[in-house]
A and B are shown apart, each in its own frame.
Chain A
């Protein structure tokens, strides 16, 4: 057990240089962006003097190194700076928008796994059967339709034509009151507050965007599950298990599926990271106040602090994600814990 703890700690330690690198790169990159924020914020009618004034107010006239030291010092105090476009502290913006994105992405992935993994397993146990073909069609369709198109299609059918979905305007209809901020996840916060009505309201808003994203992420998960299961089912140990008379159920889940899990978990991690970055289209279509659209808006107006904050938050998230995946590996596969010792 202590060996496992050491390996966890050493994994965390390995993440520190990555985080430092991200801090430096995020700083340099945002400075390297074209466009001068001082000119932008001084307005269309500004002259040289007022631009210089704005530049001084933003601290952009100082040497690079000095700016960086100030930036790191602020970071250490948890101050990510002031967003120029929203006028609020970046930390505050992130605290409200990151959970929105996470809630959407996680529910989409949960939904996606709930469909894709059983589908992949079924397809692998009956290769060439109708289930296998259905899996292939569904997966190809899901991945080949762009998310903004499926999103709009779903809105058209379920909101406009059938009228069973709420208007696609953010996380909660205006008739509900936001639940108290505990985790930032409306579903969890509402459940914690015991507010069933708000919970249902938030869930209704979440369903369509989550389905849109889930359709898109199903393909890699289903395919990987199918391939990994096919591999595991043809392994020698499955033959041993069958020759020992074990039931299909034990062979399939106890033996084959657990061995097929490793590549599936790897894929899941990859899908999660690209979805979190790439769900900006879905956020736009459903007016979801997520972190993707926030970053794009900040980038367009050269909002340094906001972009840096976004990059940092994502980097931390990915470091955390990799850690979770590594830990999941050691739980699934005893050989990995052994190698880390």
Chain B
């Protein structure tokens, strides 16, 4: 149905032309679901924008052919393309909330598409829009018709985006990272819905994702892209069992799954033996009945409702839950950036909950409790070089200066594997993995005893996530730190943590040793979380050297 031959796309930038896609060829047959997998910058999204001809300004197809049912999409007129988009080929996007017009009722947004492609008249548009909402299994579609995107949850917004895409019964659906930014259980629901709708309507589909596991589960065939080129094509089972290309192997390795160790995420050539870390009996942190209540417009909002747990000296504890479960609020209270409503935070036997967050910076404990933030880019000052960023806590809290400071920064760079030559670069000149290293170096600068890791790998590609997780494991062994690892992904948490806490609705629903929770989850919510995660097929066993 769709055939792409030697497609090349380049973008005009100030520093000259950048070739984002270089000679890509693939076909999609009717009823086939093709997965395009690759890490950021691989050109997987650009390929789909190019075939829809909705490239951003400065981007252009420089070579190749795109044909859809015998139609030359590269040479079709803009008016013809507009007729094809939405009616023949549709797209759904990542970050569904941003993908909808924030100030237009969702029903009207569906109507816009229906009316545009003459699938509805003024009289029956409303009825057809509601039918489209029902098709994506939105409960109470009639009432949702009048909702604005901000009144709906992320998963609901994605359903609306799907409803818009499928309103005119297109024959090909392109899903561009359809589940990125959604909770893991919502992710599953959205993917099941999309795949059920595709099968029911006999459509062809292209699923673009960075998640090899997800692609393997829902696609008939997978194309792996790297630097604008296809490196490997095959069916999911074969790809996982016998990856031929080194890059595919690296991706397959880096995809976390049950029963693997943290070292197995790394390519076999650079795997080193796992360093053991000692867990003492003495708790470094004890949380007793911690609560946080916000005053909302319609009554109090209980973000955290009386949770208690312990972190032992040298132990790594995972805090897992979906958005809104209170895990971020908890971590902010523990790192003392937010004051709890009630409860105790005993650090080394001393209650630090009573010290106001505003004054904690002057407390001698400040250096002992540090944090690695979620977004490596946003949590770095864009106008500070890596050296300044790492030196900041040393100068302010450690009172260091001069040659001693410079020596310590160099030492930290070595420790976190950041090449010293990069220390004078600014965040925008560093890659995602390098920025993550800077953030970690800053956090461990003062030799903290307790480190809170707030989804430190959420914004990173899987191969970089693998490297960062291993770095954290090495640092733990070398420095004897205790970790609280906050994440939504149980499989990632398991790799690094000894103990797991599962939160839901501000409460702890289950906690216990990591292996035990993963192997035999007691609470239904934990079971749901585990079953919602994509299950990549088994991998060829590569013996560690």
Contact = CB atoms under 8 A, between A and B. Distances in A.
Interface stretch (B96-104, B430-438, B506-514): B96-104
A325 B151 CA distance: 24
Given A244-B116, A250-B112, A334-B148, A255 B82 contact: no
Nearest to B116: A246
A243 B52 contact: yes
B98 A237 contact: yes
Q: What bracket does the count of chain A residues touching chain B fall in? A: 20 to 34
A244 B93 contact: no
A77 interface: no
Contact of A250 (B56, B116, B148): B116
B91 A245 contact: no
A239 interface: yes
Contacts of A234: 56
B292 interface: no
Interface in A186-216: none
Contacts of A239: 54, 93, 99
A335 B150 contact: yes
A243 B48 CA distance: 11
A258 interface: yes
Interface string B83-103: 111110011010100111111
A244 B148 contact: no
A235 B102 CA distance: 11
Contacts of A332: 103
A37 B165 CA distance: 74
A241 B101 contact: yes
Contacts of B93: 236, 239-240, 243
A42 to B, nearest CB: 60
B113 interface: yes
Contact of B85 (A236, A242, A333, A334): A242
Contact of A247 (B57, B87, B116): B116
Interface string B36-71: 000000000000000010101100000000000000
B85 A338 contact: no
Nearest to A234: B56
A254 interface: yes
A236 B86 CA distance: 16
Contacts of A254: 104, 112
A259 B150 contact: no
B90 A243 contact: yes
Contact of A255 (B91, B104, B116): B104
A14 to B, nearest CB: 17
Interface in B134-172: 148, 150-151, 161, 164-165
Contact of A244 (B95, B104, B150, B164): B164
B297 interface: yes
Nearest to B57: A127
A312 B470 CA distance: 68
A263 to B, nearest CB: 13
Contacts of B90: 243-244
Nearest to A240: B99
A200 to B, nearest CB: 41
A338 B151 contact: yes
Contacts of B113: 244-246
Interface string A321-338: 000000000001111001
A302 B534 CA distance: 80
B100 A245 contact: no
Contacts of A241: 101, 112
Given A236-B93, A338-B150, A338-B151, A246 B102 contact: no
A339 to B, nearest CB: 8
A260 to B, nearest CB: 11
Given A236-B99, A242-B54, A333-B102, 9 more contacts: A236-B93, A239-B99, A240-B99, A242-B85, A244-B164, A245-B83, A246-B82, A250-B116, A335-B150
Closest 7 CB pairs of A and B: A245-B86, A245-B85, A244-B86, A236-B98, A243-B91, A237-B101, A244-B113
5 contacts: A239-B54, A242-B54, A243-B90, A259-B102, A338-B150
Interface of B: 52, 54, 56-57, 81-87, 90-91, 93, 95, 98-104, 112-113, 116-117, 148, 150-151, 161, 164-165, 297
